[in-house]
Structure 1
């Protein structure tokens, strides 16, 4: 199956997309045909790369499907990037056309997404030819650029099979149905938002409510107004709902999903106690299309784990010992399956570093597994802090900090130290009305952690830097 075919079995009269307008599946199919006609008249052909630089909107879905149905390759671009960063991706990917929802300049032709609806500008666009023969499910349909935490961003080459199989694998666990009304508040340019909040619902004929806002009041209002049944969000959003949400507003929701970053136990536990629903935490990465694991909705709450691997995805933990794995040992998580990318665009050496000859993907994440195969994220390998030869996992220190009721958010990073190699620093946001008391925080940590793990410095912050998906930007704190 190709990605643009995933909704073909849906009831054409059923609501597909709700946002700045409402489209049934039949109307969505007609609009995609119109979009592909316009794009074809604009010169888009098989193998061309077309970027979408936009916030969440219905046009994003229509344009994406139209692009790939022409045999072209779609490049979703993080809409929080500035023009210089966008130009890097445009040049690296060789973009033929950039579609956007805002006025901007780029080093390639630019077209407003709204212009795709203005058929009068193109006269009789004519019918674009059918999907090119010779393209297979293994061919690349999307380049998704990584955030570039080290070096320049890299374009992960995702094939039709990568994305479609990941949608199917994910749905085998969570089991969306055509009666679901799913909230798409996560950015569509991100693999998590695209696969979990947009594509998986369309695959089963469900309705997708598209929201281009992270305002808590607007999010809660949308859940109430449309009787949302499935909500996929990131930890900061759950944090806000624990603090501010109205329990009655969530009555319609049957399933809450979290990803993008580990969710602190006090947040997931507080959410369960307040709303009576466990948060189904999952794990993934762009290079895996992205879902690797997720908690099963029928399982009782189990904190700090991102669940077992989804169906037909293999995982293993590589430890320093190299021997048979013993539950509880920490090592790098490796992933293999149809969801693993084909490689990085025009970067064979970088690809060889992360994908082994037999298909295993190095995730760069330190984890351990229990006897039942549940995965527990310890930290990113690059976030590991080494003080006087001792390994310190920032996540362990952060978990302890989150046990302090007055702390709202925190992040622990390593800074260079001429004497110890590295020193542990903690950046802390206090809850409204709670004073920052370094002595009290330090005293609590000394009672609950080995002394060498306790941060040398505690820095109060009004807020922590985050990317557009809500993930805390530790590299910004290191700078």
Structure 2
């Protein structure tokens, strides 16, 4: 199985067929090689079909944060130059208002099934996505990444996380973020793992899915594992093998309990950022202490330097091509020696 989402269960062949059909729908809607389309919707099978259909049509994916208000999305979508926007009506009670003049399709409608199977010629140097930064310092900026960068980095990620063919990967991390989209969907497709998308985190639902679907890989923040430890009674969690966490401080004792009190055998942590993807990661066999107190070692082909003021600098093939339509910000972020600040 490639994707399991509620009643919908797709084999890899069925997923590939739906992706090619969606590619035809995007092409018919005027999205060609290098054209952009935005997806403003929660985790679902349709998100996966839409995203990979768009990429198969040669398009560029612009994932939009589902927590954005209409004015925030109304800033990003026009700046991205999206030719088409896909939304899920009614998610979290938020009816999405999209800027005028851009065609909008409901991701749950029959749009994705309306095309004739199609595949465009795509090169590894083509930009594949524009993921916007969180905008903690001013307006969110669009980060340009290519197919080759993404595939090389996340093929390595599969090894570092010990992701295996036939794994069942429950993805709570939002697809609009590189954790859910790249370390989740893309790695699963590289390896041949089953994707189980979850739109909103709910511990009871996660426990029920782990038991019913024999989930093996479960990423999430430390709070997720605290919830599992507190609520595990009465649920069969024996299928769990790989925990993936990060983005927050993890106590050594929690790492120890993930492995001793829960069935997990591997705990992976790392450091990443939108502008360079996963830059460092722990390695299988690292000690509890190392997993809890470090972010591992640099990925292959990635250099890390700590500046005098403690700033983390990253250099290598995985550093973004630049910020969308913002050469000044790009020059400020990437110095002449290629270090990303």
Common topology (TM > 0.5): yes
Distance 1:318 1:247 in 2: 49
Match of 2:281 in 1: 294
SS of structure 1 residue aligned to 2:313: strand
- Answer whether contact 2:306 2:312 (CA < 8 A) is retained: yes
SS of structure 2 residue aligned to 1:59: helix
Distance 1:351 1:318 in 2: 19
Give the alignment partner of residue 77 of structure 1, picking from 64, 83, 95.
64
Distance 1:95 1:352 in 2: 25
Per-residue CA shift, 1:383-431, capped at 9, x if unaligned? xxxxxxxxxxxxxxxxxxxxxxxxxxxxxxxxxxxxxxxxxxxxxxxxx
- Answer whether contact 1:49 1:75 (CA < 8 A) is retained: yes
Cα separation, partners in 2 of 1:300 and 1:347, compared to 1, 3 Å: same
- Answer whether contact 2:160 2:283 (CA < 8 A) is retained: yes
Give the alignment partner of residue 313 of structure 1, picking from 302, 318, 330.
302
Distance 2:239 2:10 in 1: 22
Deviation at 1:276, TM superposition (A): 5.8
Distance 1:69 1:284 in 2: 26
Alignment of 1:279 onto 2:267: yes
Match of 2:124 in 1: 137
Give the alignment partner of residue 12 of structure 2, picking from 22, 25, 38.
25
- Answer whether contact 1:47 1:73 (CA < 8 A) is retained: yes
Cα separation, partners in 2 of 1:361 and 1:35, compared to 1, 3 Å: same
Deviation at 1:85, TM superposition (A): 0.6
Match of 1:198 in 2: 185
Describe how 1:51-200 pairs up with structure 2 within 5 A. 51-102=38-89, 103-107=95-99, 108-116=102-110, 119=113, 125-128=115-118, 130-132=119-121, 135-200=122-187
Describe how 1:235-250 pairs up with structure 2 within 5 A. 235-246=222-233, 249-250=236-237
Distance 1:298 1:333 in 2: 25
Deviation at 1:18, TM superposition (A): 0.7
- Answer whether contact 1:146 1:154 (CA < 8 A) is retained: yes
Alignment of 1:16 onto 2:2: yes
- Answer whether contact 2:24 2:57 (CA < 8 A) is retained: no
Describe how 1:350-429 pairs up with structure 2 within 5 A. 350-362=329-341
Cα separation, partners in 2 of 1:100 and 1:177, compared to 1, 3 Å: same
- The structure showing larger relative contact order (alpha-carbon pairs under 8 Å, at least 6 residues apart) is 2
- Answer whether contact 1:167 1:195 (CA < 8 A) is retained: yes
For the aligned residue pairs, the C-alpha RMSD in angstroms reads 2.0
Per-residue CA shift, 1:68-103, capped at 9, x if unaligned? 122211100000111111010012111111101114
- Answer whether contact 2:241 2:263 (CA < 8 A) is retained: no
Alignment of 1:348 onto 2:327: yes
**Normalising by structure 2, what TM-score?**
0.90
SS of structure 1 residue aligned to 2:279: strand
- Answer whether contact 1:35 1:116 (CA < 8 A) is retained: no
- Answer whether contact 1:76 1:143 (CA < 8 A) is retained: yes
SS of structure 2 residue aligned to 1:249: coil
Distance 2:123 2:279 in 1: 24
Alignment of 1:232 onto 2:219: yes
Structure 1, unmatched stretches of 5+, are 1-14, 321-330, 363-479
Deviation at 1:113, TM superposition (A): 0.8
Deviates more, 1:182-191 or 1:99-108: 99-108
Quick check: which has more Rg, 1 or 2? 1
Distance 2:256 2:241 in 1: 17
Per-residue CA shift, 1:449-478, capped at 9, x if unaligned? xxxxxxxxxxxxxxxxxxxxxxxxxxxxxx
Distance 1:118 1:359 in 2: 40
Match of 2:92 in 1: none
Structure 2, unmatched stretches of 5+, are 90-94
Distance 1:145 1:350 in 2: 13
Distance 1:126 1:55 in 2: 26
Give the alignment partner of residue 313 of structure 2, picking from 323, 334, 359.
334
Cα separation, partners in 2 of 1:356 and 1:197, compared to 1, 3 Å: same
